[in-house]
């Protein structure tokens, strides 16, 4: 049940809210400041404009509640303290017209019983929230995956490269620093590390030959542009954004955009840098054919300690060899 709630601190404010937007049901506390809930209920039921709106009275007393409810015209009353979920059920019932005479929504409970009831309700609400969060994360993951593949197609003509890079990066991160992948933004950073290329013209991305110095400088802006574009995304913060910004830094400090070196470069960025380069070498590109895996491995090792983190290269080569053995 989706519920929109409008609150009022007293009868005067409540009347203004009711006149502004007619509610499906009204919940009144008998102990309201100023005009009490029972008296206000009687006024509402005496008015032609509001008499058909069902009312639930909340009371902390065991006095003649049923008689009071009948006298003022309330459809139901509940004893405090009460279960929030039970109150929702009662509101839904009276709003649907499922009442003939005033009814007592619950009996007086002992403190321990009420605490158990609250605990049950809280557990249920947490389960619902977790389920909704899982659905949201699944939808978000599917959307990000599709977006990453679409961006990769813009660059290389296929989204398979992006998926392979992401898979290898996650595996390496789990091996080298398991706590890294506990941060959900890291995986999104791996998937969207090249997001800034959305702002790079196609004639540069798909150029079949070497880039000019001007074109190369423009291409290099994609790291900062990607970070700026993704900064407001809820699931991609901190480490995820570091990956987007720093995945073209070099181990020797000659990369961009910040000329970071060695351990200054976030580990996630070092991982995706090597994975991206390896799979770029082993994929067809507009300007060259795919390189054999053994040659790509040799190239990685040649640049370990210069462009790439040597430890990341070792882990990537080991994983590649295991992957080849599994095929």
pLDDT digits (tens, 9 = 90+) for 235-269: 777 899 999 999 999 999 999 999 999 999 999 99
What's the N-to-C CA distance of the chain in angstroms?
Answer: 50
Contact between 146 and 162 (Cβ < 8 Å) = no
pTM for this predicted structure: 0.57
pLDDT digits (tens, 9 = 90+) for 50-77: 999 999 988 876 555 566 777 888 888 8
Q: Of how many residues is the chain composed?
A: 327
For residue 159, the model assigns a pLDDT of 53
Alpha helices in the chain (DSSP H): 11-20, 37-46, 65-72, 84-95, 111-156, 160-176, 184-191, 202-205, 213-220, 222-230, 239-246, 267-281, 293-303, 310-326
């Amino acid at each position: 049940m989706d519920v929109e709630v409008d609150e009022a601190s007293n009868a005067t404010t409540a009347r203004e809210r009711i006149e502004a937007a007619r509610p499906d049901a009204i919940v009144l506390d008998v102990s309201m400041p100023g005009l009490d809930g029972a008296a206000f209920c009687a006024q509402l039921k005496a008015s032609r404009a509001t008499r058909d709106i069902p009312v639930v009275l909340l009371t902390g007393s065991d006095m003649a509640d049923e008689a009071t409810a009948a006298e003022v015209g309330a459809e139901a009353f509940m004893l405090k303290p009460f279960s929030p979920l039970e109150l929702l059920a009662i509101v839904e019932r009276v709003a649907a017209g499922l009442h003939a005479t005033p009814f007592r929504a619950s009996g007086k409970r002992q403190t321990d019983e009420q605490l158990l009831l609250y605990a049950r309700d809280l557990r249920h609400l947490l389960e619902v929230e977790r389920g909704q969060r899982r659905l949201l994360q699944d939808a978000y993951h599917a959307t990000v995956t599709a977006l990453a593949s679409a961006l990769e197609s813009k660059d290389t003509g296929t989204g398979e490269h992006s998926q392979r890079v992401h898979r290898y990066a996650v595996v390496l991160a789990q091996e080298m620093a398991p706590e890294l992948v506990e941060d959900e933004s890291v995986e999104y950073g791996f998937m969207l590390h090249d997001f800034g290329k959305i702002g790079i013209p196609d004639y540069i991305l798909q150029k079949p030959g070497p880039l000019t110095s001007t074109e190369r400088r423009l291409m290099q802006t994609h790291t900062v542009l990607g970070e700026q574009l993704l900064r407001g995304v809820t699931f991609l913060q901190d480490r995820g954004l570091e990956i987007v910004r720093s995945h073209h830094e070099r181990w020797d400090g000659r990369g961009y955009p910040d000329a970071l070196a060695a351990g200054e470069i976030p580990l996630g960025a070092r991982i995706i840098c090597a994975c991206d380069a390896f799979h770029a070498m082993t994929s067809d590109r507009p300007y060259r054919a795919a390189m054999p895996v053994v040659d790509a491995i040799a190239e990685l090792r040649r640049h370990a300690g210069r462009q790439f983190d040597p430890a990341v290269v070792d882990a990537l080569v080991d994983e590649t060899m295991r992957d080849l053995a599994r095929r």
